[in-house]
Amino acid sequence: MSTPELHLIDQAVAQAHQAAAFWAESGRQARAALLDGLAIALEQQQTALIAIAEAETSLGTTRLTGEVARTAFQLRGFADEVRAGVPYMRIDDDAVAGAPPAGRPRLTRVMQALGPVAMFSASNFPFAFSVLGGDTASALAAGCPVVVKAHSGHPRLSRAVYEVAQGVLAEQGLPQGLLGLVEGASRQAGLHLVQHPQIAAVAFTGSYQGGKALWQAANQRPRPIPFFGELGSINPLLALPEILERDGEQLASTLAASITLGCGQFCTSPGVILLLEHPASQRFIESLAQALRPLPTHPMLTEAMRRGFDQGVAHLQQAPAVRPLFEPLADGAGPAPRLFEIQAQAFIEQPELREEVFGPAAVVIRARDVDQARAVLDAIGGTLTATLWGFEQSNEQTRSLLRAARGIAGRVLFSGVPTGVAVTHAQQHGGPWPASTAPQTTSVGYTALERFLRPVALQDAPAWVLEARP
């Protein structure tokens, strides 16, 4: 990377650093007004922005319109959190006279904004996980400026949304550095941003390889910083024979649509279908193959993603323990769906068979019994979601499998499919490694702002210190 490009990154971070103290001390009205203003501006410009997004991503107007609505919704939701005082919450313990341990000084626990956040945009959600997406909204709500690393899959859209946001900042008389944008697809650009001494935290959504490299860079700094990364997930779905006997054909149709939704480019796309040996399971596999094979897909987001999908499919095709469940149709606008079966013991023993294939593909695993099914789940290690169909009754089997699912997943579903993530207070979008680098946090939902705050205890603080808190 040339020196001028590095200079642009340094300049954006410097502006964020200059705005950090001001924004950390800003009150509810200013923060909420900014978030609301960004939502309004995004909606006002959505026709032009969606046209750019469609040209760059091929995701379709319907999908992109819904994504704009979600992005505006969560911006307003974080504004409501600010008005409710969530980033300003404090805990007061009055002084107690006497000797310890009963006696104590007065302690007030407050929340401190971390400082400038480097936010890496995702490819598959060009609005909701990009310039004004959930990471940016939650960081601004927490009192942190944001430097966005634009994704190379939608550079024109990133620049256009950034300019809309800059218009809002100017209109409200706020520092330009509250939201910066850096561009450039090279690995060096990302590393330079993460290692910049004035960056205080990183939010990342993307590939395992890229995310792991940046996570390591964040931890190898002279002063390591928090890295909130979402690195990939294969999202197992386990269906018990009883529900497949009752409603297998409809569930197969629902699952096929989820596998191909957005050309399979959802971080919550169901990639592993786990079944117990049973005639109903065999019928379900046949129905799933029949439903999935003819479904059309649109072009993948980038050529690199398409190459990654093709390489992942080729790897499965060459593995001795894997067999295709149907001969795919010829590729159309996008890649034809794929469905494979992997021997359960091989999946457990061979880590390379558990790698995510990002795109319209899934694997089926048939476990001989509950113990082997649990071993399959344990082998996955970490995932954003686990879906459990047919768990209406409490018994030793369902309790055992639920424990295994909760042990690896950030979100456990008992109906429906995992594609689609509600923006709520109870949402959890994160999981054990490799799903995320900080499984105790979420990147979706209103508790996401907690990532960018740290607690500070003020002991025997004078009145002016406590009154100064927004």
Point out the catalytic residue in the list 56, 183, 267, 341.
267
**How many CA atoms does the CB half-sphere of 182 hold within 13 Å?**
32
Nearest to 155 by CA among 182, 132, 180, 128: 182
- Residue 249 CB partners (closer than 8 Å, separation 6+): 287
At 386, phi and psi to the nearest 5?
Answer: -140, 130
Q: What is the DSSP string of 273-301?
A: EEEESSHHHHHHHHHHHHHHTT---PPPS
Euclidean distance between CA atoms 58 and 64, whole angstroms? 10
Cis peptide bond N-terminal to 101, omega within 30:
yes
Answer whether 373's CB lies under 8 Å from 401's CB: yes
Q: E-assigned strands of 43-124? A: 91-93, 107-113, 117-120
Euclidean distance between CA atoms 190 and 196, whole angstroms? 10
Residue for token digits 């990532």?
451
Q: Three-state DSSP class for 277?
A: coil
Euclidean distance between CA atoms 102 and 32, whole angstroms? 41
143 conformational bin, left if phi > 0, alpha if psi -120 to 50, beta if neither: left
Euclidean distance between CA atoms 470 and 460, whole angstroms? 19
Euclidean distance between CA atoms 340 and 332, whole angstroms? 20
Point out the catalytic residue in the list 67, 81, 183, 230.
230
CB atoms within 10 A of CB 27: 11
Nearest to 389 by CA among 244, 209, 227: 244
Q: What is the DSSP string of 425-454?
A: SS-----TTTTBS-TTS-SSSGGGGGGGEE
Q: Is 230 a catalytic residue?
A: yes
Q: Is 303 a catalytic residue?
A: no
Nearest to 337 by CA among 422, 418, 270: 270
Residues classed as catalytic: 230, 267
